[in-house]
Amino acid sequence: MENQELAGADRAGQTLEFTGNWREYLPIAASNALLTIVTLGIYRFWAAARQRP
């Protein structure tokens, strides 16, 4: 159990980095923004999940 906790603590300090092209990310960001506005913010939870790798 302690090993799993230590492994989780090590990953907590890491950050994600987008290594792709902005053209790959633009459709995701644009559709997330549009759906968040149309649904008055309800979609933001799914938008955050969709942006993760």
Helix axes 44-51, 22-38, angle to 10 degrees: 170
Q: What total number of domains does the chain contain?
A: 1
34 domain residue, yes or no: yes
pLDDT tens across the length of the chain (53 residues): 455 554 555 566 677 777 888 898 899 899 999 999 999 989 998 888 888 76
Structural domain boundaries, residue 43: 17-53
8 domain residue, yes or no: no
2 domain residue, yes or no: no
The reported pTM is 0.57
3-class secondary structure for the chain?
Answer: CHHHHHHHHHHHCCCCCCCCCHHHHHHHHHHHHHHHHHCCCCCHHHHHHHHCC
Tell me, what's the pLDDT at 34?
94
Tell me, what's the pLDDT at 37?
93
31 domain residue, yes or no: yes
Retrieve residue 17's tokens: 């980095």
32 domain residue, yes or no: yes
